[in-house]
């Protein structure tokens, strides 16, 4: 349960973040950067950093604000409202999540918080059939060999935090962009953003951490990023509903706004309730994860949040397209941008079906152990 002081801090943070994103250009900026090739704006990264956005969940003794994951959720929601193209959630949840747990004294931590560097996390690999596979990327004698897939923020990144296999277990290493033997390919997603595919051939890299603690820190960081992605979907969901509500008040059929028709009103109420329930559920999860130390419990909470948020976002954005009529399918209207972003975010780190299964499996294991 959050105190009134914490709630006030989060309210002020929300107002500050919303003002910052709106002043930068709102959702129109996403369209502009999409049309320019899918990279994010480094100037915006620095502006976000100056406002303390990236350090909200990093402990104060490591140079952050120490406000916890709930504050990260506030930032994620506001990023979702304007479908911000910057990898805000990936940076807060994955990049900084790994660095502050594994190497808090490394200079890259301060650079990432301060916007002086942009690092993408490469931890997944693609198997022969295209599905995720066990790690085979190797790190030995200071060099990386192998490949990584689905790297968020690869376009425009200045380096990669790579989770690879070493002689004594998993290792976290830093590979700089432009390093020998590193090949980066990007492919566009439905919302115009891009995912990176990395290939290493005896690529020099700096070892940051090794051993079981890398595996544990990665699981914690992925749980953080999953819950924050749920918060981003909640913000997106709310804004898509607001856009649609404004539209049905002005679009006319039979000389009346369609919002005056009872069936449309009922649909709007259902969508609003779905948004509110998803928001409450995700915020509760983020607040609980801040005080939870058990890794399995945190992972289960994150799955609950993502499953609920994905279900809401898919329903709200699809209904929003329908309520816009034919124009909802045209690129001229922003609502299509929100649906495409919802599809991309829903798939990242697991969709609703994946996380429901993960949640139920965890509950079954917990019951069997009792």
Domain CATH code at residue 273: 1.20.140.10
Q: Say how many C-beta atoms besides its own lie within 10 A of residue 174's C-beta.
A: 18
Let me know how many helices (H) and strands (E) the chain has, helices first. Answer: 12, 10
DSSP H or E segment with residue 148: strand 143-152
Distance CA 16, CA 49 (A): 13
308: closest CA among 237, 219, 218? 237
Distance CA 137, CA 153 (A): 20
Q: Which of 118, 147, 172 is the last residue of a domain?
A: 118
Assess whether 139 and 95 both reside in one domain. no
Contact status, residue 40 vs residue 100, Cβ threshold 8 Å: no
- Residue 347 is encoded by which pair of tokens? 């798939």
142: closest CA among 46, 206, 237? 206
Q: Say how many C-beta atoms besides its own lie within 10 A of residue 15's C-beta.
A: 12
Distance CA 241, CA 221 (A): 30
Assess whether 72 and 190 both reside in one domain. no
Cα 351 off chain centre by: 13
DSSP track, 167-228: TTEEEEEEEETT-TTEEEEEEE-TTS-EEEEEEEEEEE-EEEEESHHHHHHHHHHHHHHHHH
Assess whether 177 and 227 both reside in one domain. no
- Residue 203 is encoded by which pair of tokens? 């690529």
- Residue 165 is encoded by which pair of tokens? 């296999």
- Residue 150 is encoded by which pair of tokens? 């689905």
Phi-psi region of 68 (alpha: psi -120 to 50; beta: other; left: phi over 0): left
* pTM exceeds 0.85: yes
Assess whether 165 and 105 both reside in one domain. no
Query: Rounded to the nearest 5 degrees, what angle is found at the Cα of 76, between the Cα atoms of 150 and 287?
Result: 110
Assess whether 223 and 362 both reside in one domain. yes
Assess whether 237 and 357 both reside in one domain. yes
Assess whether 256 and 288 both reside in one domain. yes
Assess whether 246 and 257 both reside in one domain. yes
Assess whether 227 and 352 both reside in one domain. yes
Outline where 251-292 has alpha helix (H): 262-290
Distance CA 201, CA 337 (A): 37
State whether residue 164 is helix, strand or coil. strand
Could you tell me the mean pLDDT of each successive run of 10 residues in the chain, 370 residues long? 78 91 83 72 87 93 93 96 92 96 96 93 86 85 95 92 94 96 92 92 96 95 97 97 89 72 86 95 95 91 96 95 82 88 95 92 71
Phi, psi at 132, each rounded to 5°: -55, 145
State whether residue 163 is helix, strand or coil. strand
Half-sphere exposure of 228 (CA within 13 A, CB side): 30
Quote the pLDDT of residue 229: 98
**Residue 154 is part of a domain; what is its CATH number?**
2.40.110.10
Assess whether 364 and 220 both reside in one domain. yes
**Residue 29 is part of a domain; what is its CATH number?**
1.10.540.10
**Structural domain boundaries, residue 81:** 4-118
Residue 319 CB contacts under 8 Å (≥ 6 apart), including other chains? 244, 267, 271
Contact status, residue 282 vs residue 230, Cβ threshold 8 Å: yes
How many domains in the chain? Answer: 3
Q: Which of 210, 230, 258 is the last residue of a domain?
A: 210
* Beta bridge partner(s), residue 342: none
What Å distances lie between residue 321 and 80, 308, 329, CA to CA? Answer: 18, 20, 7
What Å distances lie between residue 310 and 101, 163, 273, 317, CA to CA? Answer: 28, 27, 15, 11
Assess whether 218 and 338 both reside in one domain. yes
Assess whether 176 and 218 both reside in one domain. no
Quote the pLDDT of residue 60: 94
Q: Which of 210, 243, 273 is the last residue of a domain?
A: 210
Quote the pLDDT of residue 138: 95
């Amino acid at each position: 349960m959050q105190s009134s002081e914490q709630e006030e801090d989060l309210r002020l943070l929300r107002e500050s973040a919303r003002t910052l994103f709106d002043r930068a250009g709102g959702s129109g900026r996403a369209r502009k950067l999409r049309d320019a090739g899918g990279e994010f704006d480094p100037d915006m990264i620095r502006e976000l950093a100056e406002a303390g956005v990236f350090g909200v969940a990093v402990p104060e003794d490591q140079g952050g604000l120490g406000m916890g994951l709930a504050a990260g959720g506030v930032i994620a929601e506001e990023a979702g409202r304007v479908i911000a193209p910057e990898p805000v959630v990936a940076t807060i949840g994955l990049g900084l999540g790994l660095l502050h747990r594994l190497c808090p004294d490394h200079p890259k931590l301060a650079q990432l918080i301060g916007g002086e560097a942009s690092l993408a996390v490469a931890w997944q690999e693609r198997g022969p059939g295209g599905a995720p596979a066990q790690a085979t990327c190797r790190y030995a004698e200071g060099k990386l060999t192998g490949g990584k897939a689905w790297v968020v923020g690869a376009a425009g990144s200045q380096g990669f935090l790579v989770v690879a296999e070493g002689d004594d277990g998993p290792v976290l290493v830093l590979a700089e962009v432009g390093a020998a033997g590193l090949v980066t390919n990007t492919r566009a997603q439905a919302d115009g953003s891009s995912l990176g595919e990395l290939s290493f051939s005896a690529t020099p890299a700096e070892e940051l951490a090794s051993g079981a603690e890398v595996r544990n820190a990665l699981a914690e960081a992925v749980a953080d990023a999953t819950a924050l992605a749920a918060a981003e979907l909640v913000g997106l969901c709310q804004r898509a509903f607001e856009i649609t509500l404004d539209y049905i008040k002005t679009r006319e059929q039979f000389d009346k706004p369609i919002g005056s028709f009872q069936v449309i009103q009922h649909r709007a109420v259902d969508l609003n309730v779905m948004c509110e329930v998803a928001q409450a559920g995700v915020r509760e999860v983020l607040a609980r994860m801040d005080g939870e130390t058990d890794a399995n419990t945190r992972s289960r909470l994150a799955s609950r949040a993502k499953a609920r948020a994905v279900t809401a976002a898919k329903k709200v954005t699809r209904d929003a397209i329908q309520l816009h009529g034919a124009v909802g399918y045209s690129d001229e209207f922003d609502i299509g941008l929100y649906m495409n972003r919802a599809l991309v975010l829903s798939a990242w780190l697991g969709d609703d079906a994946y996380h429901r299964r993960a949640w139920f499996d965890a509950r079954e294991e917990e019951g069997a152990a009792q």
